[in-house]
Structure 1
Amino acid sequence: MPTVGFIYPDHAAEDDYPFAERLLGPGFSLPVEHIYGTDLHAVPELLDLGSEQRLAEGAALLAEHEPDAVVWACTSGSFVYRWDGAHEQVDKLAAAAGKPASSTSFAFVRAAEKLGLKRVAVAASYPEDVAKLFVEFLGQGGVEIVSMTSEGIDTAAEVGRLSPEAVVDLAVSHDHPDADAVLIPDTAMRTLGVLTTIEARLGKPVLTANQVTVWEGLRLTGEIPGSTELGELFRCH
Protein backbone atom coordinates (compact mmCIF):
# COMPACT_ATOMS: atom_id res chain seq x y z
CA MET A 1 0.00 0.00 0.00
CA PRO A 2 1.56 3.36 -1.01
CA THR A 3 1.70 5.63 2.03
CA VAL A 4 2.30 9.36 1.68
CA GLY A 5 2.83 11.41 4.82
CA PHE A 6 1.80 15.06 4.91
CA ILE A 7 3.13 17.74 7.24
CA TYR A 8 0.27 20.20 7.67
CA PRO A 9 0.55 23.59 9.40
CA ASP A 10 -1.85 24.16 12.31
CA HIS A 11 -5.51 23.35 11.49
CA ALA A 12 -7.75 24.57 8.69
CA ALA A 13 -8.60 22.19 5.82
CA GLU A 14 -6.66 19.07 6.73
CA ASP A 15 -9.83 16.99 6.36
CA ASP A 16 -9.27 17.21 2.59
CA TYR A 17 -6.61 14.50 3.04
CA PRO A 18 -8.76 11.75 4.60
CA PHE A 19 -11.42 12.77 2.06
CA ALA A 20 -8.93 12.16 -0.76
CA GLU A 21 -7.94 8.85 0.84
CA ARG A 22 -11.59 7.72 0.77
CA LEU A 23 -11.95 8.76 -2.88
CA LEU A 24 -8.77 6.92 -3.90
CA GLY A 25 -9.83 3.72 -2.18
CA PRO A 26 -8.31 1.21 0.25
CA GLY A 27 -5.02 0.85 -1.62
CA PHE A 28 -3.70 4.23 -0.46
CA SER A 29 -2.83 5.73 2.92
CA LEU A 30 -2.49 9.51 3.39
CA PRO A 31 -1.64 10.21 7.06
CA VAL A 32 -1.35 13.81 8.25
CA GLU A 33 0.70 15.19 11.14
CA HIS A 34 0.66 18.80 12.30
CA ILE A 35 3.27 21.38 13.13
CA TYR A 36 2.39 24.63 14.83
CA GLY A 37 3.27 28.28 14.43
CA THR A 38 1.33 31.40 13.56
CA ASP A 39 -1.17 31.01 10.74
CA LEU A 40 -0.62 34.58 9.56
CA HIS A 41 -0.06 35.05 5.83
CA ALA A 42 2.99 37.26 6.30
CA VAL A 43 6.53 36.65 5.08
CA PRO A 44 8.45 36.52 8.41
CA GLU A 45 5.89 34.19 9.97
CA LEU A 46 5.83 31.95 6.90
CA LEU A 47 9.62 31.68 6.89
CA ASP A 48 9.45 30.52 10.50
CA LEU A 49 6.63 28.07 9.76
CA GLY A 50 8.62 26.37 7.03
CA SER A 51 11.92 26.29 8.90
CA GLU A 52 14.19 23.26 8.92
CA GLN A 53 13.53 22.63 12.61
CA ARG A 54 9.73 22.67 12.30
CA LEU A 55 9.71 20.40 9.27
CA ALA A 56 12.09 17.98 11.00
CA GLU A 57 9.56 17.83 13.85
CA GLY A 58 6.85 16.98 11.33
CA ALA A 59 9.01 14.28 9.74
CA ALA A 60 9.59 12.73 13.16
CA LEU A 61 5.84 12.63 13.83
CA LEU A 62 5.23 10.93 10.49
CA ALA A 63 7.84 8.22 11.10
CA GLU A 64 5.38 5.95 12.91
CA HIS A 65 3.30 5.77 9.71
CA GLU A 66 6.31 4.48 7.73
CA PRO A 67 5.59 6.70 4.71
CA ASP A 68 7.05 6.03 1.29
CA ALA A 69 7.25 9.79 0.69
CA VAL A 70 6.72 13.00 2.66
CA VAL A 71 5.22 16.30 1.49
CA TRP A 72 5.21 19.70 3.18
CA ALA A 73 1.55 20.56 2.68
CA CYS A 74 1.90 24.32 2.69
CA THR A 75 2.15 26.50 -0.39
CA SER A 76 3.04 29.85 1.17
CA GLY A 77 5.41 28.20 3.66
CA SER A 78 7.41 26.87 0.71
CA PHE A 79 7.30 29.46 -2.09
CA VAL A 80 8.18 32.20 0.41
CA TYR A 81 11.68 30.67 0.38
CA ARG A 82 11.91 31.44 -3.36
CA TRP A 83 12.95 28.87 -5.95
CA ASP A 84 16.42 27.91 -4.69
CA GLY A 85 15.47 28.12 -1.04
CA ALA A 86 12.42 25.91 -1.58
CA HIS A 87 14.67 23.28 -3.19
CA GLU A 88 16.94 23.42 -0.15
CA GLN A 89 13.89 23.18 2.10
CA VAL A 90 12.69 19.90 0.57
CA ASP A 91 16.24 18.51 0.41
CA LYS A 92 16.55 19.02 4.16
CA LEU A 93 13.09 17.53 4.72
CA ALA A 94 14.07 14.46 2.69
CA ALA A 95 17.22 14.09 4.78
CA ALA A 96 15.24 14.39 8.02
CA ALA A 97 12.58 11.93 6.89
CA GLY A 98 14.92 9.54 5.10
CA LYS A 99 12.34 9.49 2.31
CA PRO A 100 11.69 11.35 -0.96
CA ALA A 101 10.13 14.72 -0.19
CA SER A 102 8.48 17.67 -1.86
CA SER A 103 6.21 20.62 -1.12
CA THR A 104 2.97 22.08 -2.41
CA SER A 105 4.73 24.82 -4.36
CA PHE A 106 6.68 22.31 -6.44
CA ALA A 107 3.51 20.24 -6.75
CA PHE A 108 1.84 23.12 -8.61
CA VAL A 109 4.73 23.42 -11.05
CA ARG A 110 4.85 19.69 -11.74
CA ALA A 111 1.07 19.36 -12.04
CA ALA A 112 1.00 22.23 -14.53
CA GLU A 113 3.72 20.49 -16.51
CA LYS A 114 1.79 17.19 -16.42
CA LEU A 115 -1.30 18.87 -17.90
CA GLY A 116 0.72 20.90 -20.41
CA LEU A 117 -0.47 24.19 -18.96
CA LYS A 118 1.40 27.25 -20.25
CA ARG A 119 -0.79 30.18 -19.21
CA VAL A 120 -2.77 30.24 -15.97
CA ALA A 121 -4.91 32.48 -13.80
CA VAL A 122 -4.11 32.58 -10.08
CA ALA A 123 -6.97 33.01 -7.60
CA ALA A 124 -5.14 33.58 -4.32
CA SER A 125 -6.60 33.95 -0.85
CA TYR A 126 -3.41 35.62 0.42
CA PRO A 127 -2.57 39.30 0.83
CA GLU A 128 -1.14 40.72 -2.39
CA ASP A 129 2.53 40.76 -1.36
CA VAL A 130 2.42 37.04 -0.54
CA ALA A 131 0.41 36.20 -3.68
CA LYS A 132 3.05 37.93 -5.82
CA LEU A 133 5.70 35.56 -4.43
CA PHE A 134 3.62 32.61 -5.64
CA VAL A 135 3.41 34.17 -9.09
CA GLU A 136 7.19 34.66 -9.06
CA PHE A 137 7.69 31.02 -8.07
CA LEU A 138 5.47 29.75 -10.86
CA GLY A 139 7.37 31.91 -13.33
CA GLN A 140 10.62 30.32 -12.19
CA GLY A 141 8.99 26.98 -12.93
CA GLY A 142 8.11 27.98 -16.48
CA VAL A 143 4.44 28.82 -15.95
CA GLU A 144 3.13 32.09 -17.39
CA ILE A 145 0.55 33.95 -15.29
CA VAL A 146 -2.04 35.88 -17.32
CA SER A 147 -3.89 37.20 -14.27
CA MET A 148 -3.51 37.20 -10.50
CA THR A 149 -6.14 38.17 -7.98
CA SER A 150 -5.73 38.45 -4.23
CA GLU A 151 -8.50 38.14 -1.66
CA GLY A 152 -6.29 39.66 1.05
CA ILE A 153 -7.23 37.13 3.75
CA ASP A 154 -4.75 37.42 6.60
CA THR A 155 -4.93 34.01 8.30
CA ALA A 156 -5.29 30.37 7.36
CA ALA A 157 -8.09 29.97 9.91
CA GLU A 158 -10.20 32.52 8.04
CA VAL A 159 -9.59 30.71 4.75
CA GLY A 160 -10.60 27.42 6.34
CA ARG A 161 -13.98 28.89 7.26
CA LEU A 162 -14.91 29.72 3.66
CA SER A 163 -18.07 27.93 2.57
CA PRO A 164 -18.03 25.57 -0.43
CA GLU A 165 -20.09 28.15 -2.32
CA ALA A 166 -17.53 30.86 -1.56
CA VAL A 167 -14.69 28.65 -2.82
CA VAL A 168 -16.55 27.98 -6.07
CA ASP A 169 -17.29 31.69 -6.50
CA LEU A 170 -13.66 32.61 -5.86
CA ALA A 171 -12.46 30.25 -8.57
CA VAL A 172 -15.10 31.09 -11.14
CA SER A 173 -14.93 34.85 -10.67
CA HIS A 174 -11.14 34.94 -11.04
CA ASP A 175 -10.83 33.03 -14.29
CA HIS A 176 -9.29 34.70 -17.36
CA PRO A 177 -10.23 33.95 -20.98
CA ASP A 178 -6.57 33.48 -21.94
CA ALA A 179 -5.84 31.05 -19.10
CA ASP A 180 -5.46 27.31 -19.72
CA ALA A 181 -6.40 26.69 -16.07
CA VAL A 182 -7.15 28.36 -12.74
CA LEU A 183 -4.77 27.79 -9.81
CA ILE A 184 -5.93 28.15 -6.19
CA PRO A 185 -2.83 28.02 -3.98
CA ASP A 186 -3.85 27.76 -0.30
CA THR A 187 -3.86 24.39 1.53
CA ALA A 188 -6.02 26.08 4.19
CA MET A 189 -8.90 26.09 1.69
CA ARG A 190 -11.21 23.07 1.36
CA THR A 191 -11.39 22.43 -2.36
CA LEU A 192 -11.54 18.70 -3.05
CA GLY A 193 -15.29 18.47 -2.57
CA VAL A 194 -15.98 21.20 -5.13
CA LEU A 195 -13.31 20.50 -7.75
CA THR A 196 -15.62 18.85 -10.25
CA THR A 197 -18.17 21.65 -9.80
CA ILE A 198 -15.57 24.35 -10.50
CA GLU A 199 -14.15 22.57 -13.54
CA ALA A 200 -17.65 22.04 -14.94
CA ARG A 201 -18.45 25.75 -14.47
CA LEU A 202 -15.19 26.89 -16.07
CA GLY A 203 -14.80 24.25 -18.73
CA LYS A 204 -11.07 24.02 -18.00
CA PRO A 205 -8.74 22.35 -15.47
CA VAL A 206 -8.43 23.67 -11.94
CA LEU A 207 -5.41 23.03 -9.73
CA THR A 208 -5.86 23.48 -6.00
CA ALA A 209 -3.33 23.22 -3.21
CA ASN A 210 -4.56 20.09 -1.46
CA GLN A 211 -5.27 18.36 -4.78
CA VAL A 212 -1.78 18.90 -6.18
CA THR A 213 -0.19 18.08 -2.81
CA VAL A 214 -1.84 14.66 -2.76
CA TRP A 215 -0.93 14.11 -6.42
CA GLU A 216 2.71 15.10 -5.84
CA GLY A 217 3.07 12.72 -2.92
CA LEU A 218 1.67 9.87 -4.96
CA ARG A 219 3.94 10.83 -7.86
CA LEU A 220 6.91 10.37 -5.55
CA THR A 221 5.76 6.82 -4.81
CA GLY A 222 5.34 6.04 -8.51
CA GLU A 223 1.67 5.12 -8.11
CA ILE A 224 -0.96 7.67 -9.15
CA PRO A 225 -4.45 6.22 -9.53
CA GLY A 226 -7.05 7.63 -11.87
CA SER A 227 -10.05 9.36 -10.31
CA THR A 228 -13.09 11.09 -11.76
CA GLU A 229 -13.66 13.08 -8.55
CA LEU A 230 -10.32 14.86 -8.08
CA GLY A 231 -10.19 17.03 -11.17
CA GLU A 232 -8.53 16.76 -14.56
CA LEU A 233 -5.16 16.19 -12.88
CA PHE A 234 -6.34 12.77 -11.70
CA ARG A 235 -8.65 12.03 -14.62
CA CYS A 236 -5.66 12.20 -16.97
CA HIS A 237 -4.25 9.12 -15.24
Structure 2
Amino acid sequence: MPDITGYRAKMAVIVPSTNTVVEHDMNVMRPPGVTFHAGRMYIEQPQIADDEQFEALLVQIRASLTVAIRDVLTCAPDRLVMGMSAETFWGGVEGNRAFEQRVTGMSGGLGVSTGATSCRDGLTALGARRIAVLSPYQPIADVNVTRFFTEAGFDVVGFAGLRCPTALDIAAVPPDRLIRVLRDLDGPDVDAIVQVGTNMSMVALADEAERWLGKPVLAINATTLWHALRSHGVTDRVHGAGSLLREC
Protein backbone atom coordinates (compact mmCIF):
# COMPACT_ATOMS: atom_id res chain seq x y z
CA MET A 1 0.00 0.00 0.00
CA PRO A 2 1.31 3.51 -0.80
CA ASP A 3 2.11 6.00 1.93
CA ILE A 4 -0.96 8.14 2.62
CA THR A 5 0.89 11.47 2.35
CA GLY A 6 3.85 10.53 0.15
CA TYR A 7 1.85 8.41 -2.28
CA ARG A 8 3.81 9.67 -5.31
CA ALA A 9 7.28 9.91 -3.81
CA LYS A 10 9.06 10.01 -0.49
CA MET A 11 12.29 11.98 -0.86
CA ALA A 12 15.12 11.61 1.66
CA VAL A 13 16.77 15.04 1.90
CA ILE A 14 20.29 15.00 3.37
CA VAL A 15 21.23 18.31 5.03
CA PRO A 16 23.86 19.61 7.44
CA SER A 17 22.52 20.14 10.96
CA THR A 18 23.29 23.86 10.57
CA ASN A 19 20.97 24.21 7.59
CA THR A 20 17.68 26.07 8.15
CA VAL A 21 16.66 26.73 4.53
CA VAL A 22 16.46 23.46 2.59
CA GLU A 23 13.51 21.90 4.42
CA HIS A 24 11.59 25.17 4.21
CA ASP A 25 12.28 25.55 0.50
CA MET A 26 11.37 21.98 -0.38
CA ASN A 27 8.05 22.18 1.44
CA VAL A 28 7.16 25.53 -0.16
CA MET A 29 7.70 23.95 -3.61
CA ARG A 30 6.16 20.57 -2.74
CA PRO A 31 3.81 19.02 -5.32
CA PRO A 32 0.83 17.05 -3.96
CA GLY A 33 1.72 13.52 -2.95
CA VAL A 34 5.45 14.18 -2.58
CA THR A 35 6.99 14.35 0.89
CA PHE A 36 10.45 15.25 2.17
CA HIS A 37 12.22 13.57 5.06
CA ALA A 38 15.44 15.00 6.46
CA GLY A 39 18.57 13.12 7.36
CA ARG A 40 20.68 15.68 9.24
CA MET A 41 24.47 15.52 9.32
CA TYR A 42 25.89 16.67 12.64
CA ILE A 43 28.10 19.77 12.31
CA GLU A 44 29.87 20.67 15.55
CA GLN A 45 32.04 23.50 14.17
CA PRO A 46 30.19 25.68 11.62
CA GLN A 47 33.02 28.17 11.02
CA ILE A 48 34.00 28.60 7.36
CA ALA A 49 35.86 31.92 7.52
CA ASP A 50 38.84 30.72 5.46
CA ASP A 51 39.87 27.85 3.19
CA GLU A 52 41.17 25.72 6.05
CA GLN A 53 37.93 26.02 8.01
CA PHE A 54 35.89 25.28 4.90
CA GLU A 55 37.79 22.07 4.30
CA ALA A 56 37.29 21.19 7.97
CA LEU A 57 33.53 21.57 7.48
CA LEU A 58 33.65 19.07 4.62
CA VAL A 59 35.49 16.63 6.89
CA GLN A 60 32.58 16.89 9.34
CA ILE A 61 30.08 16.32 6.52
CA ARG A 62 31.93 13.22 5.31
CA ALA A 63 32.12 11.84 8.83
CA SER A 64 28.39 12.23 9.49
CA LEU A 65 26.97 11.40 6.06
CA THR A 66 26.75 7.66 6.65
CA VAL A 67 24.68 8.03 9.82
CA ALA A 68 22.36 10.62 8.24
CA ILE A 69 21.61 8.30 5.34
CA ARG A 70 21.28 5.28 7.65
CA ASP A 71 18.72 7.06 9.81
CA VAL A 72 16.55 8.44 7.03
CA LEU A 73 16.45 5.11 5.21
CA THR A 74 14.21 3.82 8.00
CA CYS A 75 11.26 5.72 6.46
CA ALA A 76 11.76 3.76 3.19
CA PRO A 77 12.33 6.73 0.85
CA ASP A 78 12.20 6.45 -2.92
CA ARG A 79 15.12 8.78 -3.70
CA LEU A 80 18.00 10.67 -2.13
CA VAL A 81 18.18 14.46 -2.51
CA MET A 82 21.41 16.10 -1.42
CA GLY A 83 20.56 19.29 0.46
CA MET A 84 24.21 20.35 0.58
CA SER A 85 26.04 21.41 -2.53
CA ALA A 86 29.73 22.13 -1.92
CA GLU A 87 30.71 18.47 -1.51
CA THR A 88 28.96 17.58 -4.78
CA PHE A 89 31.13 20.03 -6.74
CA TRP A 90 34.35 18.94 -5.04
CA GLY A 91 36.81 17.36 -7.43
CA GLY A 92 34.98 18.46 -10.56
CA VAL A 93 32.92 16.14 -12.73
CA GLU A 94 34.72 13.00 -11.58
CA GLY A 95 34.45 14.03 -7.93
CA ASN A 96 30.70 14.45 -8.29
CA ARG A 97 30.38 11.11 -10.05
CA ALA A 98 32.31 9.37 -7.29
CA PHE A 99 30.18 11.06 -4.64
CA GLU A 100 26.96 9.92 -6.32
CA GLN A 101 28.25 6.35 -6.52
CA ARG A 102 29.22 6.44 -2.86
CA VAL A 103 25.87 7.65 -1.54
CA THR A 104 23.93 5.35 -3.85
CA GLY A 105 25.90 2.49 -2.35
CA MET A 106 25.18 3.71 1.18
CA SER A 107 21.46 3.78 0.40
CA GLY A 108 21.28 0.32 -1.08
CA GLY A 109 20.84 1.57 -4.64
CA LEU A 110 18.56 4.59 -4.48
CA GLY A 111 18.83 7.20 -7.19
CA VAL A 112 20.38 10.47 -6.05
CA SER A 113 20.02 14.11 -7.07
CA THR A 114 23.05 16.27 -6.30
CA GLY A 115 23.39 20.01 -6.67
CA ALA A 116 26.19 19.66 -9.22
CA THR A 117 24.39 17.23 -11.52
CA SER A 118 21.12 19.14 -11.17
CA CYS A 119 22.73 22.43 -12.20
CA ARG A 120 24.45 20.80 -15.15
CA ASP A 121 21.25 19.18 -16.38
CA GLY A 122 19.17 22.29 -15.68
CA LEU A 123 21.49 24.57 -17.63
CA THR A 124 21.51 22.08 -20.50
CA ALA A 125 17.70 21.93 -20.51
CA LEU A 126 17.59 25.74 -20.73
CA GLY A 127 20.23 25.89 -23.47
CA ALA A 128 22.63 28.02 -21.39
CA ARG A 129 26.39 27.72 -21.94
CA ARG A 130 27.90 30.94 -20.58
CA ILE A 131 27.17 31.32 -16.89
CA ALA A 132 27.85 33.49 -13.87
CA VAL A 133 27.88 31.97 -10.37
CA LEU A 134 26.84 33.32 -6.98
CA SER A 135 28.40 31.52 -4.01
CA PRO A 136 28.49 32.02 -0.22
CA TYR A 137 31.72 30.04 0.01
CA GLN A 138 35.44 30.61 0.46
CA PRO A 139 37.88 30.63 -2.49
CA ILE A 140 38.83 26.95 -2.25
CA ALA A 141 35.20 25.95 -2.72
CA ASP A 142 34.66 28.43 -5.53
CA VAL A 143 37.63 26.89 -7.36
CA ASN A 144 35.92 23.50 -7.18
CA VAL A 145 32.57 24.92 -8.34
CA THR A 146 34.27 26.58 -11.30
CA ARG A 147 36.17 23.39 -12.08
CA PHE A 148 32.97 21.35 -12.20
CA PHE A 149 31.17 23.72 -14.55
CA THR A 150 34.19 24.08 -16.81
CA GLU A 151 34.70 20.33 -17.04
CA ALA A 152 30.97 19.94 -17.73
CA GLY A 153 31.35 22.18 -20.79
CA PHE A 154 30.20 25.59 -19.54
CA ASP A 155 32.01 28.91 -19.75
CA VAL A 156 32.14 30.57 -16.32
CA VAL A 157 32.29 34.25 -17.29
CA GLY A 158 31.49 35.73 -13.87
CA PHE A 159 31.78 34.68 -10.24
CA ALA A 160 30.82 36.34 -6.95
CA GLY A 161 31.89 34.72 -3.68
CA LEU A 162 30.27 36.18 -0.56
CA ARG A 163 32.78 34.62 1.88
CA CYS A 164 30.29 33.93 4.68
CA PRO A 165 32.18 33.34 7.96
CA THR A 166 29.97 30.50 9.25
CA ALA A 167 27.54 28.00 7.80
CA LEU A 168 24.76 29.70 9.77
CA ASP A 169 25.59 33.10 8.26
CA ILE A 170 24.73 31.80 4.80
CA ALA A 171 21.05 31.79 5.81
CA ALA A 172 21.30 35.41 6.99
CA VAL A 173 22.47 37.08 3.75
CA PRO A 174 19.83 39.78 3.15
CA PRO A 175 17.91 39.97 -0.13
CA ASP A 176 19.09 43.51 -0.92
CA ARG A 177 22.70 42.30 -0.97
CA LEU A 178 21.78 39.38 -3.22
CA ILE A 179 19.95 41.69 -5.61
CA ARG A 180 23.04 43.88 -5.95
CA VAL A 181 25.22 40.86 -6.61
CA LEU A 182 22.84 39.47 -9.22
CA ARG A 183 22.79 42.79 -11.07
CA ASP A 184 26.59 42.99 -10.92
CA LEU A 185 26.94 39.46 -12.31
CA ASP A 186 24.57 40.08 -15.20
CA GLY A 187 25.84 41.07 -18.60
CA PRO A 188 25.28 40.49 -22.31
CA ASP A 189 27.75 37.58 -22.25
CA VAL A 190 25.81 35.73 -19.51
CA ASP A 191 23.17 33.18 -20.54
CA ALA A 192 22.19 32.24 -16.99
CA ILE A 193 23.14 32.86 -13.36
CA VAL A 194 23.58 29.94 -10.97
CA GLN A 195 23.39 30.20 -7.16
CA VAL A 196 25.11 27.55 -5.05
CA GLY A 197 24.96 27.03 -1.29
CA THR A 198 21.79 25.32 -0.10
CA ASN A 199 21.48 27.36 3.12
CA MET A 200 21.01 30.55 1.08
CA SER A 201 17.34 31.41 0.63
CA MET A 202 17.13 32.21 -3.08
CA VAL A 203 14.15 30.35 -4.57
CA ALA A 204 11.64 33.24 -4.56
CA LEU A 205 14.28 35.86 -5.32
CA ALA A 206 15.64 33.87 -8.27
CA ASP A 207 12.12 33.60 -9.69
CA GLU A 208 11.69 37.37 -9.40
CA ALA A 209 15.16 38.08 -10.79
CA GLU A 210 14.40 36.13 -13.95
CA ARG A 211 11.77 38.72 -14.79
CA TRP A 212 13.97 41.78 -14.36
CA LEU A 213 17.11 40.22 -15.78
CA GLY A 214 15.34 38.51 -18.66
CA LYS A 215 17.29 35.24 -18.28
CA PRO A 216 17.34 32.09 -16.15
CA VAL A 217 18.49 32.34 -12.53
CA LEU A 218 18.97 28.87 -11.05
CA ALA A 219 18.58 28.67 -7.28
CA ILE A 220 20.31 25.50 -6.10
CA ASN A 221 17.38 24.19 -4.03
CA ALA A 222 14.82 24.66 -6.81
CA THR A 223 17.20 23.16 -9.35
CA THR A 224 17.93 20.10 -7.22
CA LEU A 225 14.21 19.56 -6.58
CA TRP A 226 13.54 19.87 -10.32
CA HIS A 227 16.07 17.13 -10.99
CA ALA A 228 14.69 14.90 -8.25
CA LEU A 229 11.08 15.26 -9.36
CA ARG A 230 11.73 14.78 -13.07
CA SER A 231 14.05 11.82 -12.42
CA HIS A 232 11.24 10.21 -10.44
CA GLY A 233 8.63 10.88 -13.14
CA VAL A 234 6.86 13.74 -11.35
CA THR A 235 6.20 16.31 -14.08
CA ASP A 236 4.10 18.87 -12.18
CA ARG A 237 4.80 22.48 -13.10
CA VAL A 238 5.62 24.51 -9.99
CA HIS A 239 5.15 28.30 -10.13
CA GLY A 240 7.11 30.85 -8.14
CA ALA A 241 10.31 28.80 -8.09
CA GLY A 242 12.00 29.68 -11.38
CA SER A 243 11.81 28.73 -15.04
CA LEU A 244 13.04 25.16 -14.68
CA LEU A 245 10.19 24.00 -12.45
CA ARG A 246 7.72 26.15 -14.36
CA GLU A 247 8.66 25.24 -17.92
CA CYS A 248 10.86 22.11 -18.10
Calculate the TM-score normalised by the size of structure 2.
Answer: 0.86
SS of aligned partner of 1:32? strand
The 8 Å contact of residues 134 and 193 in structure 2, kept in 1 or not, is answered as yes
- The answer to whether structure 1 residue 54 and structure 2 residue 84 are counterparts is no
Counterpart residue number, 1:23: 29
Alignment: residue pair count: 235
Residue 155 (str. 1) matches residue 161 (str. 2): no
Of residues 166-175 and 106-115 in structure 1, the stretch that sits farther from structure 2 once superposed is: 166-175
8 A contact 1:121–1:148 mirrored in 2: yes
Distance 1:25 1:216 in 2: 14
Shift of 1:202: 1.1
Offset at 1:216? 2.1
2:134 is paired with a residue whose SS is: strand
Deviates more, 1:218-227 or 1:108-117: 218-227
Which of 123, 129, 154 lines up with 2:134 in the alignment? Answer: 123
Q: Which residue of 1 aligns with 2:125?
A: 114
Cα distance in 2, alignment partners of residues 54 and 220 from structure 1:
26
CA positional deviation for 1:101: 1.5
Return closer, same or farther for 1:13/1:76 CA change in 2, 3 Å cut-off: same
Q: Are the equivalent residues in 1 in contact too, given 2:11–2:36 (CA < 8 A)?
A: yes
Inter-partner Cα distance in structure 2 for 1:50 and 1:220? 25
Residue number in structure 2 paired with 1:193 = 204
- Following superposition, the deviation at residue 50 of structure 1 comes to 4.2
| Structure 1 residues 176 and 40, CA gap change in structure 2 (3 angstroms) | farther
Write the deviation string for residues 175-214 of structure 1: whole angstroms up to 9, x where unpaired: 2321111111111101123222211221111011111121
Which structure 1 residue ranges, 4+ long, deviate > 6 Å from structure 2? Answer: none
Q: 1:84 aligns with which of 88, 94, 114?
A: 94
Equivalence map 1:27-106=2 (5 Å): 27-37=33-43, 38-41=45-48, 42=51, 43-51=54-62, 53-98=63-108, 99-106=110-117
Amino acid in the other structure paired with 1:12: N
Q: CA deviation at 1:151?
A: 1.9
What is the TM-score with the length of structure 1 in the denominator? 0.89
Shift of residue 229, structure 1, vs aligned partner = 1.0
Structural RMSD (CA)? 2.0
Over 3 Å counting, the alpha-carbon distance change for 1:83 and 1:40 in structure 2 is farther
Work out which of the two has the higher radius of gyration on C-alpha atoms and give 1 or 2: 2
Identity over aligned pairs, percent: 21
- Cα deviation 1:136-185 (Å, max 9, x = unaligned): 11111111111112222232211111123333333233223211111111
CA distance in 2, matches of 1:94, 1:220: 15
Indicate how the Cα distance of structure 1 residues 167 and 141 shifts in structure 2: closer, same or farther if over 3 A, else same.
same
Judge conservation of contact 2:25–2:221 (CA < 8 Å) in 1: no
> Hey, what's the Cα distance between the residues in 1 that align with 2:192 and 2:144?
19
8 A Cα contact 1:71 1:103, kept in partner: yes
Letter in 2 for 1:36: Y
In the alignment, the residues of structure 1 paired with residue 65 and residue 119 of structure 2 have an alpha-carbon distance, to the nearest angstrom, of: 20
